[in-house]
Amino acid sequence: MGYPDQRFDVNLSILFTELPLLERPAAAAAAGFTAVELWWPWIETPTPPQAELDALKKALDDAGTQLVGLNFYAGQLPGPDRGALSVPGEESDRFRANIEVAADFAASVGCTALNALYGNRVEGADPQVQDALALENLVLAARAADRVGAILLVETLNKPESPLYPLVSAPAAIEVIDKVNAATGLGNAKFLLDLYHLSMNGEDLSQVIKAYAAKTGHVQIADNPGRGAPGTGTLPLERLLDELKDAGYPGRVGLEYKPGDRPSADSFDWLPVSARAAR
C-alpha cells in the first residue's frame, strides 16, 4: 500500500503507549514522524501543574515534533467515559476549567486544532438540557480556539463501543458544528472525520466524504474490524483518502489505531518512511 500524497501524523495517546508520555515524541520521531497529536494527557485533572505542561512542551521540542492536534479534557480516556462538556455538574465544570489551559498550551506549541468530545448521555439528565449545556461549552471552546488561531473539532464516535455517546453519525456531528458556528459567527468549528468510527456505525464512507469534506478539519484512520493498522482489516483506506483529496480536503491524516501485540514502531510497515514526515 502506498500513500504518497497524504500528510500523516501519529496519535501518541493510542500509539507508543508502551512508553512514558514524555518519551513518546522522540519515539515517533525515530519512526520518521514529524507531526503528532494527543488526547488530553492528564486524565485525572483538567489543570495540571505548569511544570508538567512545560515538560511536555520540552519533550515535543527536543524531539523536533509538531503537535498538530490536542483534545480538551474529556474524562477517563481510554475507558467508558466519553467527554465532559455536556455532563451536568462537576464534569462540565472541569471542562470549563480546562478550556483556557488547553488553548494556551496549544498556542505555546503551535497546535492549531483542538478537539472537544461531546459527553455521554447521563441517567436522570434531560437530553435537551445536556445539549444546551454542550452548545454553551462548545461556544466557549470555539472562542478560546479562535483566540489562539486554532480550529475546534467535533467528533463522531461509534455506537457499539460508545453506546451512551449521542453523536454516532456524521449528520449528528455536523448539526452540532453548524449550531456552534451560527452561535459564534467564527466559522472555526469543523468536523473530525474518523473513518473507523464512521465505518463502525455502518455509514457510507464515500457519501460522507462527498457530503462533508468541505466542513472537515481533520481526519483520523484505523482499519476495521479490530481498529488496527491499515491492511489489517477490510476498509479501503487508500481509496477513501484519495476520495478525500479529490473532494478538496487539504489537511492531515491522524493515525489513531492500535498497534496490536507488537511495539508501536513495528506497526508502520504499511507506510514508507518518506511518507511519514510532514510536508
pLDDT in tens, 89-147: 999 999 999 999 999 999 999 999 999 999 999 999 999 999 999 999 999 999 999 99
The number of CA neighbours under 13 Å toward the Cβ of 97 is 12
Respond yes or no: is residue 37 known to be catalytic.
no
Of all residues in the chain, the percent with pLDDT exceeding 70 is 96
Contact 193, 201 (CB under 8 A): no
Q: Sketch the domain layout of the chain as residue ranges.
A: 8-275
Q: How far is CA 218 from CA 17, 42, 86, 135, in A?
A: 22, 22, 22, 21
Respond yes or no: is residue 256 known to be catalytic.
yes
Alpha-carbon gap, residue 272 to 265, rounded angstroms: 13
Q: Which residue, among 110, 89, 101, 122, has the nearest Cα to 41 in the 3D structure?
A: 101
Residues 198, 199, 202, 207, CA torsion sign: positive
If you average pLDDT over residues 254-262, what whole number do you get?
A: 97
Which of these is catalytic: 52, 155, 203, 238?
Answer: 155
Provide the total of helices (H) and of strands (E) in the chain, helices listed first. Answer: 8, 8
Contact 48, 80 (CB under 8 A): no
Burial 59-71 (b: 16+ CB within 10 A, else e): bbeebebbbbbbb
Query: pLDDT tens digits for 211-243?
Result: 999 999 999 999 999 999 999 999 999 999 999
Q: Does the domain made of 8-275 have the CATH classification 3.20.20.70?
A: no
Whole-prediction pTM value?
0.96
Contact 26, 59 (CB under 8 A): yes
Contact 7, 250 (CB under 8 A): no
Q: Which residue, among 267, 215, 202, 223, has the nearest Cα to 244 in the 3D structure?
A: 215
| pLDDT band of 156, cuts 50, 70, 90 | very high
Query: pLDDT tens digits for 180-200?
Result: 999 999 999 999 999 999 999
Query: pLDDT tens digits for 37-73?
Result: 999 999 999 999 999 999 999 999 999 999 999 999 9
Which of these is catalytic: 37, 91, 203, 256?
Answer: 256
Instruction: Name the grid cell of 155.
Output: 467528533
